[in-house]
């Protein structure tokens, strides 16, 4: 199932499928942090108001703001 990172819940795993069109402001930043297409991750924590979201990717914890998380297209349950 595809969606954005904001649609996922704590404990769910997924894989980066791409980026939302028009999200070029965040795309470069997320790519630099290792969120390239095919990268597997797990949602570790979500703050009470949904901002920030903490994920575990490539051996480290990464916190993303709500706007950044909404720019990331994911495949739920997929692992590489």
Percent of the chain at pLDDT exceeding 90: 36
Number of structural domains found in the chain: 1
CA–CA gap between residue 46 and residue 20 (Å, rounded): 21
pLDDT attached to residue 13:
93
- Residue 41 belongs to what domain range? 2-76
Q: How many CB atoms lie within 10 A of CB 48?
A: 5
Q: How many CB atoms lie within 10 A of CB 7?
A: 14
CA–CA gap between residue 18 and residue 37 (Å, rounded): 6
| pLDDT tens, position by position, 41-74 | 999 999 988 789 999 998 999 999 988 888 888 9
Q: Which one-letter DSSP state was computed for residue 70?
A: H
Which CATH number belongs to the domain containing residue 65 in this structure?
Answer: 2.30.30.90
């Amino acid at each position: 199932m595809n969606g954005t990172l904001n649609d996922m819940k704590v404990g769910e795993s997924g894989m980066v499928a791409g980026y939302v069109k028009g999200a070029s402001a965040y795309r470069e930043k997320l790519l630099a942090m290792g969120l390239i297409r095919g990268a597997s991750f797990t949602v570790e924590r979500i703050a009470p108001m949904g901002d920030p979201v903490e994920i575990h990717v490539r051996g480290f914890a990464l916190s993303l703001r709500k706007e950044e998380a909404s720019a990331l297209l994911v495949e739920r349950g997929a692992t590489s």
